[in-house]
Chain A
Amino acid sequence: MPILKANERTQITIKLNGRECSGHAEPRMLLSDFLRHELGATGTHVGCEHGVCGACTVRVDGVATRSCLTLAVSAQGRRVDTIEGLSPGGGVMSVLQQAFHEHAGLQCGFCTPGILMSLSHYLELHPQASRDDLREVIGGHLCRCTGYTSILDAACAAAEQLRAQAA
């Protein structure tokens, strides 16, 4: 691989929510900015830009990842899943989204996409997650509205429902 120059925009192709998408990025461009400004996928939100707030969390090759701590160039050729792909389609919400709706797990919605992407990965890895486990996962996100209780309620309800579906 040749050195990509700082001011050179290279073509980056990723599989965004199952669909191949291309855009251009300088080496310094963050995956979060690439998704929003190059691909127009503005469901991923950008808060602190240093990995603390969790708003920008997406899944890269299935793994929950801070997109503000990931360079677009290093996502080349990878699968990236964002909030836009969480719903099964046809106006139906995913189990997670439905649980957040029912338990008022959001107010302004800024932190919500990141939390949902984290939980979608974590609950795949740990379907038996306890309330304490989920509290710790949500601890990787900042929400300035809800006080977290309703978010945790929603996450627990979703976990339970996913377990019931799998049984």
Chain B
Amino acid sequence: MKSSGFDYIRPHSEQEALSLLAAHGPAARIMAGGQSLVAMLNMRLLKPELLVDISGIDSLRGIRVHEKWIEISAMTTQSELLAWPALARELPLVAKALPWVGHFQTRNRGTICGSIVHSDPSSEMPLCLALLAGEVVLRSQRGERSVPAARWQVGMLTTARESDELVTAVRFPRARQGEGFGFQEVARRHGDFAIVALAARSSANTTALAVAGVADVPTVCDVGQLTGAELSEKLHELAWSLGGSDDIHASARYRRELIRRLGPLVIEEARSCRS
């Protein structure tokens, strides 16, 4: 369980990081908090030639409030966001989901953007980003662009990021008047990878449910105003459509059952706490 060798650099400016990425391309990996990456290195699932440690870049810190978004910079840790006093008001879904991201000890260093970039299929932050229809901000020497959540995750641990791009921030839409949110998760141990995680967002007109841990990417499903047997039927269809597989933690059948059982609870939670 030791990483293979790699070169290492800790740049102090975004420009320096971007020029390194431009020069080294896919041979380089970016490290923010390292809480997913170093585990992958230790298991030799990744063997980068160069590790670019962005923890020394001060311009990549902070939480910014914009008219429509809350923008969370690349080096903002999960603990910092959890301790942000406005979190429950501005991003109630993130406030509910974040305590499920890893443990106290890993949230202290793990970053929000790191979770989004790592894009584990069972991960909570990508699930929230997908349901809230947020966006990811990327910069390279070619310029800046933002990618909407729906086009961000393209497969298992795979995103729309090009190899010369640095994710500088992620934007979550601020909660609007009249919205309610729900979140539930089943894991072997609180803080471990979710077997299934479910999030719901409800407004006066409609409700959407998002599921992580079954398909390769978080999946959002509009359930409208459905209740009772109609909702059950919709969730049953959703559960089958995600194509989950058996693994050491749970069977595909168990995962489908969790969607059918927990789905209505999460939807009810979101509908009942509409502001």
Interface residues of A (CB under 8 A from B): 1-7, 26-28, 30, 33, 48-52, 54, 57, 63-66, 68-71, 73-74, 118, 122, 136-137, 139-140
Closest to A142 in B: B189
Residues of B within 8 A of A70 (CB): 34, 38, 109
Determine which of A5, A74, A136, A139 lies in contact with B53 in the assembled complex, contact meaning CB atoms within 8 Å. A74
A51 touches B41 (CB 8 A): no
CB distance from A121 to the nearest CB of B (A): 8
B5 touches A64 (CB 8 A): no
Q: Which B1-17 residues have a C-beta within 8 angstroms of A?
A: 1-12
Is B43 in the interface zone, CB < 8 Å from A?
yes
Residues of A within 8 A of B106 (CB): 51, 66, 69, 140
Residues of A within 8 A of B9 (CB): 1-4
Closest to B1 in A: A49
Binary CB contact string for chain B from 91 to 104 against chain A (1 if under 8 A, 0 otherwise): 00000000100011
A9–B23 Cα distance when bound, in Å, is 24
Q: With A3-B50, A28-B41, A140-B191 in contact, do A71 and B8 touch (Cβ < 8 Å)?
A: yes
A27 touches B103 (CB 8 A): no
Residues of A within 8 A of B2 (CB): 28, 30, 33, 49
Closest to A26 in B: B5
Closest to A126 in B: B104
18 further interface pairs, Cβ-Cβ under 8 Å (given A69-B109, A70-B38): A1-B12, A6-B7, A27-B8, A28-B3, A28-B5, A30-B38, A51-B35, A51-B39, A52-B192, A54-B103, A54-B105, A68-B38, A71-B8, A71-B34, A74-B31, A118-B105, A140-B104, A140-B105
Jot down 25 A-B pairs with beta carbons below 8 A, ordered by A. A27-B7, A27-B8, A27-B51, A28-B6, A49-B1, A51-B38, A65-B105, A66-B105, A66-B106, A66-B109, A69-B35, A69-B39, A69-B106, A70-B109, A71-B51, A71-B53, A73-B10, A74-B53, A118-B105, A136-B103, A136-B190, A136-B191, A137-B104, A139-B191, A140-B191
A139–B39 Cα distance when bound, in Å, is 19
Residues of A within 8 A of B34 (CB): 69-71, 74
CB distance from A154 to the nearest CB of B (A): 17
Residues of A within 8 A of B5 (CB): 6-7, 26-28
B105 touches A64 (CB 8 A): yes
A23–B10 Cα distance when bound, in Å, is 19
Closest to B41 in A: A28
Interface residues of B (CB under 8 A from A): 1-12, 31, 34-35, 38-39, 41-43, 50-51, 53, 55, 99, 103-106, 108-109, 189-192
Determine which of B6, B11, B39 lies in contact with A1 in the assembled complex, contact meaning CB atoms within 8 Å. B11
A11–B95 Cα distance when bound, in Å, is 41
Task: Give me the 10 closest cross-chain CB pairs, A-B, nearest first.
Answer: A140-B103, A27-B8, A6-B5, A49-B1, A50-B39, A69-B38, A28-B3, A4-B8, A3-B9, A63-B108
Closest to B24 in A: A3
A7–B6 Cα distance when bound, in Å, is 8
Determine which of B6, B35, B55 lies in contact with A27 in the assembled complex, contact meaning CB atoms within 8 Å. B6
A65 touches B109 (CB 8 A): yes
CB distance from B187 to the nearest CB of A (A): 11
Closest to A137 in B: B104
Q: With A28-B4, A65-B109 in contact, do A50 and B11 touch (Cβ < 8 Å)?
A: no
Q: With A27-B7, A139-B190, A139-B191 in contact, do A65 and B12 touch (Cβ < 8 Å)?
A: no
B1 touches A4 (CB 8 A): no
A2–B8 Cα distance when bound, in Å, is 9
A26–B7 Cα distance when bound, in Å, is 9
B38 touches A71 (CB 8 A): yes
A50 touches B42 (CB 8 A): yes
